């Protein structure tokens, strides 16, 4: 009973978050997907695969367990990126929701196979340091377990660079595009919006000043910590 109500609310949030992606100009067509996890209930809710946004309904959202197995009969097929989400939820225990888009400015950096440098305070307010770009997947990874391997290479990137997923709630998958996440769906979508905006800013910053360096560490610290952590004083939305 209670469980059903919680899952129903998850479906609503995931549905409306998916709807927000084209409205915010982050995706075209059916690109992109949003999911949310409830770790206590052992449940993930994710967008179905290939349903036209105009026809998608709340009850089309797909419910799985934490390994990605379908939990409801007559379920639609989940987004084919579900295995990536499953890996990220398993390895990033503080993450409550994940968003994947092909937003144009973020993809430009992913295709360029470059981190987005922290060139200003707009970036620092949300991302504590460069937004990392993963290495390329190998042929074997792509052929044998593509979507899981996409999750794995994100996790590998964060481990190697010793990044906290909530301090840098975004990644670029090389040659592919961005994943963002957050404590909840609202934050995860906002982080996609911010990511595309700072990606757009960074491109022209480099064009205007080709030798520009990323901002000073103390300015990065200031902006990040006035919004996050124990001493935050900046408005929390």
Query: Which secondary-structure segment (H or E) carries 88?
Result: helix 82-91
Contacts of residue 127, Cβ cutoff 8 Å, sequence gap at least 6: 116, 118, 168, 169, 170, 194, 195, 198
State how far the Cα of 234 lies from the Cα of 4, in Å rounded to an integer: 37
CB 77 within 8 A of CB 62: yes
C-alpha–C-alpha distance, residues 190 and 107, integer Å: 17
Q: At what angle do helices 82-91 and 139-160 cross, to 10 degrees?
A: 30
| Distances 217 to 11, 119, 223, 232 between C-alpha atoms, Å | 40, 11, 10, 18
Q: Can you tell me which residue has the tokens 């910053």?
A: 205
136 binds a copy of itself (CB under 8 A): yes
Angle between helices 104-112 and 185-208 (to 10 degrees): 60
| 119 lies in the site for a copy of itself, by CB under 8 A | yes
Say whether residue 228 binds a copy of itself (CB under 8 A): no
Number of other residues whose CB lies within 10 A of the CB of residue 66: 15
Q: Cβ closer to a copy of itself: 111 or 184?
A: 111
Determine which residue in the list 20, 84, 130, 190 makes contact with a copy of itself, applying CB under 8 A. 190
Q: How far is the CB of 105 from a copy of itself (least distance, A)?
A: 7
Q: Of 6, 8, 31, 75, which one interacts with a copy of itself (CB under 8 A)? A: 31
Closest distance of CB 2 from a copy of itself, Å: 28
Instruction: Choose which of 4, 40, 52, 74 interacts with a copy of itself (CB under 8 A).
Output: 52
From the list 85-93, 153-161, 162-170, 195-203, the region that binds a copy of itself by CB under 8 A is 195-203
One character per residue 67-106, x = contact with a copy of itself (rule: CB under 8 A): ----------x-xx---------------------x-xx-
Q: How far is CA 157 from the centre of its chain?
A: 14
Q: Which residues contact 190 (CB under 8 A, 6 or more apart)?
A: 126, 182, 237
Choosing from 60, 125, 146, 225, which is the catalytic residue? 125
Q: Is 128 a catalytic residue?
A: no
Work out how close the CB of 233 gets to a copy of itself at its nearest, in angstroms, rounded to a whole number: 6
125 is catalytic: yes
- The catalytic residue positions are 125, 234
The binding site for a copy of itself (CB under 8 A) comprises 28-31, 48-52, 77, 79-80, 102, 104-105, 107-114, 119-122, 136-137, 139, 142-143, 146, 175-177, 190, 193-194, 197, 200-209, 212, 215-216, 218-219, 222, 226, 233-237
């Amino acid at each position: 009973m209670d469980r059903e109500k919680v899952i129903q609310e998850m479906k609503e949030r995931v549905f409306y978050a998916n709807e927000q992606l084209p409205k915010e100009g982050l995706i075209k067509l059916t690109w992109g997907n949003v999911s949310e996890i409830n770790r206590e209930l052992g449940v993930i809710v994710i967008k179905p695969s290939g349903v036209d946004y105009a026809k998608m309904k709340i009850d089309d959202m797909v419910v799985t367990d934490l390994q990605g197995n379908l939990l409801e009969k007559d379920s639609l097929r989940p987004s084919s990126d579900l295995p990536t989400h499953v890996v990220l939820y398993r390895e990033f225990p503080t993450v409550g929701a994940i968003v994947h888009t092909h937003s144009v400015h973020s993809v430009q950096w992913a295709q360029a196979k470059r981190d987005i440098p922290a060139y200003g305070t707009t970036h620092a307010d949300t991302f504590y340091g460069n937004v990392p770009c993963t290495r390329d997947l190998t042929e074997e990874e792509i052929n044998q377990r593509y979507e899981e391997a996409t999750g794995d290479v994100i996790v590998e990137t964060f481990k190697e660079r010793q990044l906290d997923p909530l301090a840098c709630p975004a990644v670029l998958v090389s040659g592919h595009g961005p994943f963002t996440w957050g404590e909840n769906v609202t934050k995860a979508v906002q982080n996609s919006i911010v990511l595309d905006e700072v990606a757009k800013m960074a491109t022209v910053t480099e064009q205007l000043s080709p030798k520009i360096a990323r901002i000073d560490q103390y300015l990065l610290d200031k902006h990040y910590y006035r919004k996050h952590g124990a001493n935050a004083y900046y408005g929390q939305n």
